[in-house]
Chains A and B, each alone.
Chain A
Amino acid sequence: MMLQVLVRSMLLLLLSCSVAVSGEQSLMPYQGPQPAPDFELVDVDGGKHRLSDYRGKPLIINFWATWCPPCREEMPSMNRAWRKVKDEVSMLAVNVGEDEDTIFIFSADYPIDFPVLLDRSGAVIKQWPVKGLPTTFVLDRDGNIRYTAVGAREWDDDALLEIVKGL
């Protein structure tokens, strides 16, 4: 119980340290475009997902962890974005290093309606140009990385989503 209190206070403290995100949500054009490294991962229900199967629509792919404060901060906006654009854009949340039970508990407070994939060993994130969490990539319909975002964003920003839909 005491451990839970300390962990919670730690996460609150880390969240309070977050940097305010500017009103205009930025995406950095990726050098290239560059084909995204393909992978196959299972989701929290055991279903298999291969990245290349998502071609045909733009894709937002987010690398995250439940204990990562800015990841927690942006997840609601990712879910709102999903509700806005799910017919036009695919979204994946790739969790790094955690199990389905941990994500299940997390999702009680932070619902995620799009697929959550489990990169338990960290083998997939190693193949991607990620230095820290959260890092999000936006892929075009052909599976090329077109934009990156390091740190949290307000993903349901209309201007940002227009950029994504146009890919």
Chain B
Amino acid sequence: MLSPIHQINALFIFFALILGPAMADVIRSVDEQTGLLSWRMQEGDFELKVTQLLPDQTRAFFLARGFSKETANTIATGCIMQTIGSNSADKDAHGAVDVDLKRWRMLHNGSEGPIKPKEQWDSEWPAGKVSDAARLAFRWATFPTQQDFAPGDYGWGMTSFGLLPGSYFDLKVVWSAGGVQKEAWIRGIQCAEER
């Protein structure tokens, strides 16, 4: 017969096994002023926030960077989200959080595939279609395809998912911390609709 302490330990182990790995916390919120939706995920020291961007706002931003109306519209209607990643560990902690967008996956209409990194956009614009200045601005306004976040670091930028305005999808976020790969799903993200 197990002692009370061992019984309690056994119960904890039992529930841990049946519930599986700890789930990331995901909070969906609405900006009171803009009505735009955000999804905030946190697991351990890694935080990620994905926020809707209106197609009109994205159009205006890239027009101001020197893109043509046609190309700015193509970008703006490709489900662009403002994304912020951060390592919230104490500044004296060690170990970076490594994020590589090429490992992320999105699930839309039952089909799973990669998100659209900046390099893919760049490859769609032959020389002369987009000015060097515009291309440079795009490169730096978009979330880094790969980045190590040291404690206290955060990175921001636009991420694109290649879906039409108003579309819904699930996002599998993949990152590494302490050499261990982790993943979490953010369900029911919606691309902002035209207003």
- Chain A interface (Cβ < 8 Å from any Cβ of B): 3, 6-7, 9-10, 13-14, 16-19, 21-22, 24-28, 65, 67-70, 96-97, 120-122, 131-133, 148-151
Given known A6-B56, A151-B86, contact A28–B151 (CB-CB < 8 A): yes
- B34 & A132 in contact (Cβ 8 Å cutoff): no
- B63 & A3 in contact (Cβ 8 Å cutoff): yes
Which of chain A's residues have a CB closer than 8 A to the CB of B150?
Answer: 26, 28, 148, 150
1/0 contact string of B71-113 vs chain A (CB within 8 Å):
0000000000010101010010000000000000000000000
The chain A residue sitting closest to B59, CB to CB, is A6
Classify the secondary structure of A's interface with B.
loop
Which of chain B's residues have a CB closer than 8 A to the CB of A17?
Answer: 38, 49, 51, 82, 84, 156
The complex places the Cα of A27 from the Cα of B151 at a distance, in Å, of 9
Which of chain A's residues have a CB closer than 8 A to the CB of B146?
Answer: 131
- A24 & B91 in contact (Cβ 8 Å cutoff): yes
Give 8 CB contacts A-B under 8 Å: A17-B156, A18-B84, A18-B156, A25-B91, A26-B153, A28-B152, A67-B141, A122-B140
B31 within 8 A of A: yes
- Smallest CB–CB gap between A55 and chain B, Å? 26
The complex places the Cα of A132 from the Cα of B153 at a distance, in Å, of 11
Which of chain A's residues have a CB closer than 8 A to the CB of B162?
Answer: none
- B136 & A6 in contact (Cβ 8 Å cutoff): no
The complex places the Cα of A61 from the Cα of B49 at a distance, in Å, of 28
- A150 & B82 in contact (Cβ 8 Å cutoff): no
Of B34, B51, B61, the contact of A7 (CB 8 Å cutoff): B61
- Smallest CB–CB gap between A66 and chain B, Å? 10
The complex places the Cα of A149 from the Cα of B86 at a distance, in Å, of 12
Which of chain B's residues have a CB closer than 8 A to the CB of A16?
Answer: 31
